Structure 1
Amino acid sequence: MAVEFELSEVGVHTLRVGVSYLDPLTNEPKSLRKFYRFQVLNPLTITFKHVLIQDISFVEAKIQNITQIPLHADTIVFVPSPPFEAQQLTAPDNDNANNLIFPDDSIQCIFKVTAEHLDLSLGTLNLGRLEVNWKSAMGESGRLQTQPVMRKVGSVKEATVTVLLPTPVVAQVGQPFVASVLIQNNGTRAMNLQLQLRRDLMLGILCSSVSHLNVGIVQGKSSVHVSVELLPLIAGLQQIRGVLAVDMDSQVEFAMEKPVYVLVK
């Protein structure tokens, strides 16, 4: 008699076998129980490398056979979590022996993970899991599903603000000059933005035009240029400060990240 049972956890397992029978001499019912302890290990180790290019995630999976026998990978699938979609860029060819993983050998697969609507304000995002179905040389089959692949979003902002100066810039005390402010919407949702030049944060160079300007709706993956007039008040190397964009719906502020310096004569 053969019994098949899927094991979903690694570690020590105990198999209890019970047999009931009749004594052929006394016709008395009897039973026998026996316990078998065995260790369950992962036949494969899977490591990930995640590369983020703009809003596109590239997940590279390295699958290594840590058993003493060859294993055949029937399917290797990345199961994305909503709202992500996954596309397999490189994979073993199902028509040849590249699916066969020898002991201590490994194969690599790359998946492109994208989403149409993505909230970049979240700290981490669950991209999905890798699922591998395999068979041994004796025909034993198994399935392995990894932990979620997480994407960190801390360094990515929904909007960025950059001050662009004319080249060459000639700044003199008491003479206004015009600069351009580039506001980029890095996310996929439209944002109702307002450009603010806060005089209380400025020193040496102040805003001599409208300090709060409604930019309007900026669609996802797009940008807008806004011209502003600045007035130098102090000679020397001065930094432009206090320039930021505000999402009027969520009141989230996006300050300029890269400092901009102007030599005032």
Structure 2
Amino acid sequence: MVFDVFSCQTFCSYISVVNYSEEVVSSVVVKAEVQTERQKSVLFDNSAAPLALLTPGARYDFIVSHDVKELGAHTLVCCATYSSGEGERKYLPQYFKFPAHNPLSVRTKVRAVGEDSFLETCVENCTKSPLLINYVRFDPSPHLTVTELKRPTVVTDFKEEAEEGDVVGDYMQQLKVVQPNGGMRHFLYHLQRVSSVARGEATNSLGKLEIRWHGAMGEVGRLQTQQIMGAPTPRKEVEVKVVSLPSQVWIHKPFQAELLVRSHVERRVGPLRLVCSDTTHDSSTAGQQTRQCSVAVCGLATSRVGELSPFGSATLTLTMVALGLGVQSISGLSLVDDREGKPYDSISHTQIFVHSSS
């Protein structure tokens, strides 16, 4: 009899070879294998050392195991080849068919927030028994670092009633049990780009999830997903962004903003210059109308950046002044080639809060 079998787990079977005849059989060769649409795996084969004799009513028992890695139809083929009492060579096959089901359903969603990404993972139990999750681990790609975000520990009524120093109660609270027939557990990961890896060297591949669990009878399961892909981002040859601002900005009082210029190509770029304009396009109005910048640059309208090496970077500091109160945007800054005038990038609308000086 074959019970429910699931992929990512180990299938075990107890096989018994019994001589139901009234004569002694000899040179008994037993072979067991699992067949799928893609491959055939031999689990047991004693052809190198056959059983010399198997008397009437005698039996030969053994256990086989197989790591199930495919879904769908499987066939356990057990066959015995033996010599009868008259010396005739005979062959007896037996076939046991069973399907392999998916024990877990893993759904992921990637959300990009600035240069960071958040990976939401939902693990659903598709079996009829509870599963004990040992761990859910995300292995990021080399250009990323990962931090698992966990919700704060909530003190439940059970916890309050538990006696002080109740080790069993504390342990039960930490177990990650997924209830049967659609029970779910959710996990959240914060992915950040490694600062030493340039954007041009990175890919959209985020990494893989590895899940390990125990079933109701202690059977071990392991699942590793394929590469999880993030949303494709347009590649810029050179980018410029604001990396440092003062904690407070006051109206009509100069402050300093630190900018980072970084190359994402394998060649030298430049020389470059940063052009400061006192107007910017307002995308919130029809016709892309221009408006006066609410944060102006003090000093020259052009700042020289110089030449960047492959995947190199440079920093520059601008003195700026806010002309309006409340939430204002730093805009009107464009990075261009100093010789050809080719535009590379512009400052996205970085917002600051401007305080009154009174």
Specify whether residues 141 and 85 from structure 1 end up closer, same or farther in structure 2 by C-alpha distance, changes over 3 A only.
same
Match for residue 195 of structure 1?
Answer: 273
The partner residue of 2:346 within 245, 256, 259 is 256
The partner residue of 2:136 within 53, 58, 76 is 76
Deviations along 1:61-101, whole A, 9 cap, x unmatched? 1111011111111221112222333333338x994364111
In structure 2, list runs of 5 or more residues that go unmatched.
Answer: 1-61, 154-169, 243-250, 276-289, 291-299, 320-330, 350-358
Compute the TM-score of the two structures, normalised by the length of structure 2. Answer: 0.48
Deviations along 1:203-258, whole A, 9 cap, x unmatched? x9xxxx8979444569989853568xxxxxxxxxxxx999433599xxx9523376
Q: CA deviation at 1:4?
A: 1.1
> Percent identity of the aligned residues?
23
Match for residue 12 of structure 1?
Answer: 73
Specify whether residues 33 and 133 from structure 1 end up closer, same or farther in structure 2 by C-alpha distance, changes over 3 A only.
same
* Aligned-partner SS, 1:15: strand
Match for residue 54 of structure 1?
Answer: 114
Measure, in 2, the Cα distance between the counterparts of 1:43 and 1:58.
26
Match for residue 99 of structure 1?
Answer: 176
Match for residue 127 of structure 2?
Answer: 67
Question: What are the within-5 Å matches in structure 2 for residues 109-120 of structure 1?
Answer: 109-114=187-192, 115-120=194-199
Measure, in 1, the Cα distance between the counterparts of 2:338 and 2:130.
56
Q: CA deviation at 1:137?
A: 0.5
The structure having more radius of gyration, on CA atoms, is 2
CA contact (8 A) 1:161 1:244 kept: no
Specify whether residues 139 and 211 from structure 1 end up closer, same or farther in structure 2 by C-alpha distance, changes over 3 A only.
closer
Match for residue 134 of structure 1?
Answer: 213
Q: CA deviation at 1:161?
A: 6.7
Specify whether residues 161 and 101 from structure 1 end up closer, same or farther in structure 2 by C-alpha distance, changes over 3 A only.
closer
Measure, in 2, the Cα distance between the counterparts of 1:214 and 1:186.
11
Measure, in 1, the Cα distance between the counterparts of 2:224 and 2:66.
17
Match for residue 36 of structure 2?
Answer: none
CA RMSD after TM alignment = 4.6
Measure, in 1, the Cα distance between the counterparts of 2:148 and 2:221.
22
Q: CA deviation at 1:122?
A: 6.6
Aligned length: 218
Compute the TM-score of the two structures, normalised by the length of structure 1. Answer: 0.62
